[in-house]
């Protein structure tokens, strides 16, 4: 008899020891993210059939033109999380400031805050390229029962209690970690259920893929240029391939499964790069490290960086451990 796949809900119940100090809130929080992801997945799969593609006509705090799906996904995740009364605050890439959530008695006794990029890569939706959601969960540091402050959100990545991403592609997958390994769940659209499809995900120490926007090559620092030449030249003694989708979730997800390095370095006109520390880099750093890989800004461990701003940007290198360390060697030598 064929073994039945375990569902995400069953997996969470089975792994309650992962949430030993949470009294059920963290489990419910993951379940709420699951629900919101299903709603967004259904809308993404309708792109081209309903009026959900294209520009919304406004810019977000980063000065980026918001897509209609950005706004839709942001609204869905915020509404789903707020309605379940499990959070005291939310930070979103699409909002200027964090959202403080009050309980029914106007004093919130919940312990967790979520930081998220509700729809990463949304500009690719018009051309049917995979997009995704990224989330990061922290325990609040301010006293329970008081409104959250920026201090609750500006925490180092090492203090994350969970992080994950959802990729909306040929199938929809939810991948997350609570510090006890990384597991991936694939949505069965007929049943509307996520099933465990990628247990205990691991990234190889060495890989053969490098992912970077080489259109910025002339603006990269000398160390990054040298590393790219190393990847292309026979001196590396390896057969490296360049693979770049331009959708962060899709690029990192592929390298998680295949082995490789994802890079978004700083450039001369923008030394801090493009990616946000709190919404993109910290959660992926936690996931990649839990899978056996490494994440760095080229010099420092991503999860050790002290955040100073809700929308702070940092250079980002993540993936197979040996590839990231080799890139760091070239960057260090160039300095």
Q: Is 269 annotated as a binding residue?
A: no
Question: Taking 70 as the threshold, does the pLDDT of residue 58 lie above it?
Answer: no
Mean pLDDT of 269-279: 94
Is position 119 annotated in a ligand binding site?
yes
b vs e for 48-84, b when ≥16 Cβ sit within 10 Å of the residue's Cβ?
eeeebbeebeeebeeeeebbbbbbbbbebbbebbeee
Nearest by Cα to 286 from 196, 122, 176: 176
The verdict on whether residue 72 carries a ligand-binding annotation is no
pLDDT, one tens digit per residue, over 7-25 is 999 998 887 766 655 567 8
Residue 99: C-alpha distances to residues 82, 130, 196, 219, 304 (Å):
10, 28, 32, 36, 25
Q: Where exactly are the structural domains of the chain?
A: 8-198, 209-334
Q: What is the pLDDT of residue 56?
A: 45
Specify the CATH number of the domain 8-198: 3.30.540.10
The reply to whether 274 sits in an annotated binding site is yes
Mean pLDDT of the chain: 89
When pLDDT is averaged across residues 252-275 and rounded to a whole number, the result is 95
| Structure confidence at residue 150 (pLDDT) | 96
Asked if 49 contacts 299 with a C-beta cutoff of 8 angstroms, the reply is no
Count each helix (H run) and each strand (E run) in the chain, helices first.
8, 15
Q: Are strands 241-242 and 193-198 parallel, antiparallel or unpaired?
A: unpaired
> How crowded is residue 257: how many other Cβ atoms within 10 Å of its Cβ?
15
Average the pLDDT over 229-249 and give the result.
86
**How many other β-carbons are positioned within 10 Å of the β-carbon of residue 21?**
9
Confidence at residue 54, expressed as pLDDT on a 0 to 100 scale: 47
**CATH match for 209-334 among 3.30.460.80, 3.90.1300.10, 3.40.190.80, 3.40.50.300:** 3.40.190.80
**Is 319 annotated among the ligand-binding residues?**
no
Mean pLDDT lowest among 45-49, 127-131, 329-333: 45-49
29 assigned binding-site residue: no
Cβ neighbors of 37 (< 8 A, separation 6 or more) are 133, 166, 172, 174, 187
Q: Torsion angle, CA of 97/63/117/296, rounded to 10 degrees? A: -100
Q: Is the pTM of this model over 0.75?
A: yes
Q: Which of 132, 133, 135, 141 is nearest to 29 (CA)?
A: 135
- The set of residues, in sequence order, having a beta carbon less than 8 Å from that of 67 and lying 6+ positions away, is 53, 54, 55, 56, 119, 122, 123, 125
213 is in an annotated binding site: yes
Maximum alpha-carbon separation in the chain: 66
**280 in a labelled binding site:** yes
pLDDT in tens, 98-115: 999 976 555 578 899 999
Query: Does 107 count as an annotated binding residue?
Result: no
d(CA 140, CA 177): 19
Q: Which of helix, strand or coil describes residue 188?
A: strand
Q: Which of 68-72, 256-260, 322-326 is the least confident region?
A: 68-72
Query: What share of the chain in percent tops pLDDT 70?
Result: 88
Contact criterion met (CB below 8 Å) for 65 and 54: no
């Amino acid at each position: 008899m064929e073994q039945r796949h375990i569902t995400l809900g069953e997996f969470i119940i089975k792994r309650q020891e992962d949430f030993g100090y949470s009294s059920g809130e963290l489990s419910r929080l993951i379940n709420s993210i699951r629900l919101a992801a299903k709603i967004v997945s259904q809308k993404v799969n309708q792109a081209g059939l309903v009026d959900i593609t294209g520009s919304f006509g406004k810019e977000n705090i980063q000065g980026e033109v918001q897509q209609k799906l950005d706004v839709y996904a942001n609204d869905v995740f915020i509404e789903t999380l707020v309605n379940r009364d499990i959070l005291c605050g939310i930070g979103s890439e699409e909002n200027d400031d964090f959202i403080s959530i009050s309980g029914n008695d106007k004093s919130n006794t919940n312990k967790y805050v979520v930081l998220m990029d509700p729809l990463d890569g949304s500009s690719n939706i018009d051309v049917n390229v995979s997009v995704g959601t990224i989330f990061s969960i922290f325990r609040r540091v301010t006293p329970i029962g008081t409104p959250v402050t920026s201090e609750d959100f500006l925490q180092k990545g090492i203090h994350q209690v969970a992080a994950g991403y959802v990729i909306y592609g040929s199938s929809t997958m939810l991948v997350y970690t609570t510090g006890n390994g990384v597991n991936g769940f694939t949505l069965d659209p007929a049943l509307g259920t996520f099933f465990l499809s990628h247990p205990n995900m691991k990234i190889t120490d060495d890989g053969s893929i490098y992912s970077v926007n080489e259109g910025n090559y002339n603006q990269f620092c000398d160390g990054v240029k040298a590393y790219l030449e190393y990847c292309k030249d026979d001196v590396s003694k390896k057969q490296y391939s360049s693979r770049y989708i331009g959708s962060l979730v899709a690029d990192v997800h592929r390298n998680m499964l295949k082995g490789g390095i994802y890079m978004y370095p700083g450039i001369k006109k923008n030394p801090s790069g493009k990616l946000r520390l709190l919404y993109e880099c910290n959660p992926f750093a936690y996931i990649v490290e839990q899978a056996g890989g490494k994440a760095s800004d080229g010099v420092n461990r991503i999860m050790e960086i002290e955040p100073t701003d809700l929308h702070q940007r940092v250079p980002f290198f993540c993936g197979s451990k040996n590839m990231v360390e080799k890139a760091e060697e070239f960057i260090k030598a160039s300095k």
